[in-house]
Amino acid sequence: MQGVAGEGILIAAGGRAILLQLANPAIGHGVADHSNFAARPLDRLNGTLSYVYAIVFGDADQAEAMTARVNHAHGPVHSRGTSPEYNAFTPELQLWVAATLYESATHLHGLVYGPLDDDTADAVYREYSRLGTSLQVPPELWPSDRAAFGRYWNEQLTLLTTDAATRTVAHDLLHSRRAPLWYRAALPLARLMTAGLLPPHVRTLFQLPWSTRRQRRFERVLGGIRLVYPRLPQALRHWPKNHYLRALHASALAPVV
């Protein structure tokens, strides 16, 4: 699990996970009504990565601190007029958030490295469940094995939908004008990767442009990643994970003012 989750390339699947979350109407409207993460995408990225790395790689104190921080940040977020109504403490909706992180990460990992053997895939699945159960997902709610997860995932995909509000959040996220210059420079590639990694019908739900030409570009980029990325030194491939763990450790040592 840690070898899989530590790969920095999996960050490239982050846009896919977020759009899948937004396509759940309750989550999407909760974000549209109460969150400005589309205007501050780096805050969302930093928060998600800090949480994932703390849960998977951190010690008990780091995991507990990040769980408390996430709960505090999510407290005000809720939606009205959707069924079910969303708040950050709804277990079924938190299950979907955790599921998108697991499925998006392992989907991209498989595209880059090929399929995992069954024992490794089962271990990765069990460990990723902690992303949900560390928050509000009871262990019995997390699908019991990968086959059960596949059935759950396919069912949830049929329930996804978007409207003008959630499509606007997605558009703002993928076309951010307030982020640093380096981030904005990377957005064309991020848009291509996000759209290419999404299930086709979800891409259509968000009205993301796609064509044979874009598909070829996506395949060329993915082919380049497959060729170059696995050959990089592990220290470089795992740099994001190590960076966030150092930051978590430094924040724990900082004096309270």
Query: So what's the pLDDT on residue 249?
Result: 80
Distances (CA, A) of 43 to 38, 49, 200: 9, 10, 28
Query: So what's the pLDDT on residue 254?
Result: 47
3-state secondary structure of 143: coil
**β-strand partners of 78:** 87
Residues 6+ away with beta carbon under 8 Å from 83: 26
Question: Is the N-terminal amide bond of 233 cis, ω within 30° of 0?
Answer: no
Query: So what's the pLDDT on residue 104?
Result: 97
Query: So what's the pLDDT on residue 39?
Result: 64
Give the DSSP letter of residue 229. Answer: G
Contact 214, 55 (CB under 8 A): no
**β-strand partners of 87:** 78
Query: So what's the pLDDT on residue 257?
Result: 35
3-state secondary structure of 162: coil
Rounded CA-CA distance 53/168 in Å is: 29
Count of CB atoms within 10 A of residue 104's CB? 24
Residues 6+ away with beta carbon under 8 Å from 25: 82, 161, 163, 166
Per-residue pLDDT of the chain (257 residues; tens, 9 = 90+): 557 889 999 999 999 999 999 999 999 988 887 766 666 777 778 888 888 888 888 888 888 888 888 766 655 555 555 555 556 568 999 999 999 999 999 999 999 999 999 999 999 999 889 888 887 789 999 999 999 999 999 999 999 999 999 999 999 999 988 778 888 899 999 999 999 999 999 999 999 999 999 999 999 999 999 999 999 999 999 999 999 999 888 876 544 33
Tell me which residue range forms the domain holding 150: 2-253
* Number of domains, the chain: 1
Query: So what's the pLDDT on residue 256?
Result: 36
Rounded CA-CA distance 110/104 in Å is: 10
Indicate the pTM of the whole model.
Answer: 0.89
Contact 22, 208 (CB under 8 A): no
